Structure 1
Amino acid sequence: DIVIGGTDTTSTMVEWVMAELLQNQNVMNKVIHELTEVVGEDEMVEEHHLPKLKYLDAVIKEAFRLHPALPLLVPRTPNASCVVGGYMIPKGSNVFLNMGSIHRDPKIWDKPLEFRPERFLEGPSRYDFSGNNFTYMPFGSGRRICAGLALAERMLPYVLASLLHSFKWEIPPGSELDLLDKFGIVVKKMKPLVAIPRPRLSTPELYMSR
């Protein structure tokens, strides 16, 4: 179940990241430049390259901020009535934490609707996926943190780095790209992303090695 659930949310996040990059070509160019510097155009992405891809890491974190696949975290149920933020929470209530709203709160984030990965380079140690910073918890926190976190941390950068390093991407001529979402247990794009890949590596043989 963890693998199946993690695969669904990971593929959703791949789509969101690619959509944001296609919408923000200046960010896309920075990612491609980093991949060229770290990996080169004469070899494929390998796992040992990933820790060096700092800008791609910031892009992924920014995508999780704007488009958390699971914006409503696992509900908590208080075993006694309590007051939180001036609101009475009765015993036995289901309390949902809406990280989607927290991640777009202008009191916390500067220009929250702007896709700006640099915000995660300015204080990289402040934001990770551990859930210790309560303003950024795309995977939740504590004992109920998402069980698929380790899978996503390994899979998502590798898949995205491979796609972006191996191909140039563009939307079909005459089509429009929007970032509207469809609410559900997993929040996906309203219209599935359609993009055209074109080879960008130096020799065709590199594609045959995989």
Structure 2
Amino acid sequence: MLPYMFKYISANWTTLSTSDHGPYWQSLRKGVQGFAMNPSSISSQTLSQEKEAIAMTQKIQEQAAVNGGIVHPIDNIRHNTIRVVGRLCFGPDFNNETFVVGIDPFIYDIINIAALARFADAFPFTRYIPGLRGPFRKVAEIRDGIVSLVEPEITRYQSSKSPCTTCYLHFLLSNGYTMETIIFILFEMFVLSVDSTSTATTWALAFLIRNSEIQHKLFKEVSGGDEKRERVTVDQVSKMPYLQAVVSEVFRMKPIAPLAIPHKTVNDTTLTGLKIDKGTAVIINIYAVLRDPKVWDEPERFMPERFLNENALSDRMAMERSFIPFGAGRRICVGMDLGKLQVGLTLANLINSFEWLAADGDGPDMTDDFTIILRMKEPLVARIKARTNLGASLF
């Protein structure tokens, strides 16, 4: 039920998110869970994640030093996530900065072109009008660019004397998928991971800039006191309840895919008395569910405390049933746990290292830019103060 245009960057709809439920889809899903998202695969790169979080904060500090404290953090956060996903896909020795920098614009462009893809579906004749075929040519260019970046990494893996046997690429090659399918299954991993984690992190920073008391409370937790830690580790992140509450509240307020990936009914069914035929496209309004005033007290207010164990049991149960920012059911986001971990680790280190302030008097623009991802309309621009000591600043 995805746009026709997407067939060109999904190997004719043979990737995980574009294929119908069945044995083929189940095989791909098991491959992701058993290899790329296997707990041991994720835990094996903990040290690399922590080192890159520190490297990211250093790059942001360098950017601030030459711009009077002003930073645009999104690119550093995106590149950091690409490296994490790259190791899960290609193995722990993945270290190709040309790939990291090169794949990012293609991910960004595919998300941007989603709205045009829907337009082409609504008016199929536009595929054949020369003046309106620009988006299709753009997708073809993106497709060629993706192949030129991903295929060499596959070749490198195949020529390795000791290839990783726990990465996702090993599973795909071992199961005989075509080269085209492997390339775009791997690319899909980046599409589904990079925007979700980087966008959630920048939304989090924007909310914290606008809510200085919450930012201070979070800093007290992540730092363990009044001065910054040397670094925040993965193990420490899992033991920070207020950080987890902040991350959950960000996902509630700004769900990354507010209408989720389109579903399709596999049988004739009914919903609240309405007959729904087999094969009907079903769109779930996750955004509305996460702002339902019957479930969420003051749903328009950024309030991480709602996720702490201070509410009545009945209220907590209602919130747990309604908290579906990653979807639900069989096609719930397979990278949910990694996504929450990556956002938590990145955010914790950014808050530990810097105080985040508005770049101007108005504060960050919280306007949504909705394609299939709920991005910020204006990418976050902020002013930072380094937390070398309590209240100290390098800028």
User: Which range, TM-score by smaller chain?
Assistant: 0.7 to 0.9
Is the 1:45–1:161 contact (alpha carbons within 8 Å) kept by the matching residues of 2? yes
Provide the secondary structure at the position in 1 that maps to 2:270. Answer: strand
Does residue 1:64 correspond to 2:288, yes or no? no
> In structure 2, do the counterparts of structure 1 residues 182 and 173 end up closer, same or farther at CA, with 3 Å as the change threshold?
closer
How far 1:39 sits from its partner (Å)?
A: 9.5
Distance 2:191 2:257 in 1: 15
Does residue 1:54 correspond to 2:241, yes or no? yes
Aligned equivalent of 2:358, options 153, 158, 171: 171
Distance 1:176 1:17 in 2: 14
Distance 1:3 1:142 in 2: 22
Aligned runs of 1:53-92 on 2, under 5 Å?
53-92=240-279
Is the 1:2–1:147 contact (alpha carbons within 8 Å) kept by the matching residues of 2? no
How far 1:59 sits from its partner (Å)?
A: 0.4
Between 142-151 and 23-32, report the one with greater CA deviation: 142-151
Is the 2:227–2:389 contact (alpha carbons within 8 Å) kept by the matching residues of 1? no
How far 1:90 sits from its partner (Å)?
A: 2.5
Q: Find the counterpart in structure 2 of residue 155 from structure 1.
A: 342
Aligned runs of 1:193-208 on 2, under 5 Å?
193-202=380-389
Does residue 1:181 correspond to 2:354, yes or no? no
Aligned equivalent of 2:309, options 85, 107, 122: 122
How far 1:21 sits from its partner (Å)?
A: 0.7
> In structure 2, do the counterparts of structure 1 residues 42 and 13 end up closer, same or farther at CA, with 3 Å as the change threshold?
closer
Provide the secondary structure at the position in 1 that maps to 2:230. Answer: coil
Q: Find the counterpart in structure 2 of residue 101 from structure 1.
A: 288
Is the 1:38–1:49 contact (alpha carbons within 8 Å) kept by the matching residues of 2? no
The answer for unaligned runs of 5 or more in structure 1 is 204-210
How far 1:175 sits from its partner (Å)?
A: 4.2
Residue identity matched to 2:354: F
Distance 1:39 1:94 in 2: 52
> In structure 2, do the counterparts of structure 1 residues 59 and 42 end up closer, same or farther at CA, with 3 Å as the change threshold?
closer
> In structure 2, do the counterparts of structure 1 residues 74 and 4 end up closer, same or farther at CA, with 3 Å as the change threshold?
closer
Is the 1:81–1:88 contact (alpha carbons within 8 Å) kept by the matching residues of 2? yes
Q: Deviations over 1:70-123 (max 9, x none)?
A: 111233322333221233323321011111110011111111111110010036
Distance 1:193 1:53 in 2: 25
Distance 2:388 2:234 in 1: 18
Q: Relative contact order: is structure 1 or structure 2 higher (C-alpha 8 Å, sep ≥ 6)?
A: 1
Between 72-81 and 143-152, report the one with greater CA deviation: 72-81
> Who wins on radius of gyration, i.e. which is larger?
2
Distance 1:89 1:174 in 2: 51
Distance 2:207 2:362 in 1: 15
> In structure 2, do the counterparts of structure 1 residues 58 and 96 end up closer, same or farther at CA, with 3 Å as the change threshold?
same
The answer for unaligned runs of 5 or more in structure 2 is 1-187, 391-395
Is the 2:364–2:382 contact (alpha carbons within 8 Å) kept by the matching residues of 1? no
Aligned runs of 1:15-34 on 2, under 5 Å?
15-34=202-221
How far 1:137 sits from its partner (Å)?
A: 0.7
Is the 1:39–1:45 contact (alpha carbons within 8 Å) kept by the matching residues of 2? no
How far 1:172 sits from its partner (Å)?
A: 1.6
Residue identity matched to 2:382: A
Is the 2:265–2:279 contact (alpha carbons within 8 Å) kept by the matching residues of 1? yes
Residue identity matched to 2:388: L
Provide the secondary structure at the position in 2 that maps to 1:52. Answer: coil
Q: Deviations over 1:161-200 (max 9, x none)?
A: 0000001111123444231101111111111110122210
> In structure 2, do the counterparts of structure 1 residues 31 and 61 end up closer, same or farther at CA, with 3 Å as the change threshold?
same
> In structure 2, do the counterparts of structure 1 residues 49 and 40 end up closer, same or farther at CA, with 3 Å as the change threshold?
farther
Distance 1:197 1:80 in 2: 54
Q: Find the counterpart in structure 1 of residue 326 from structure 2.
A: 139
Distance 2:212 2:267 in 1: 51
Provide the secondary structure at the position in 1 that maps to 2:351. Answer: helix
Does residue 1:111 correspond to 2:298, yes or no? yes
Distance 1:118 1:134 in 2: 18
How far 1:4 sits from its partner (Å)?
A: 4.0
Among all aligned residue pairs of Structure 1 and Structure 2, give the percentage whose two residues are the same amino acid: 35
Is the 1:38–1:53 contact (alpha carbons within 8 Å) kept by the matching residues of 2? no
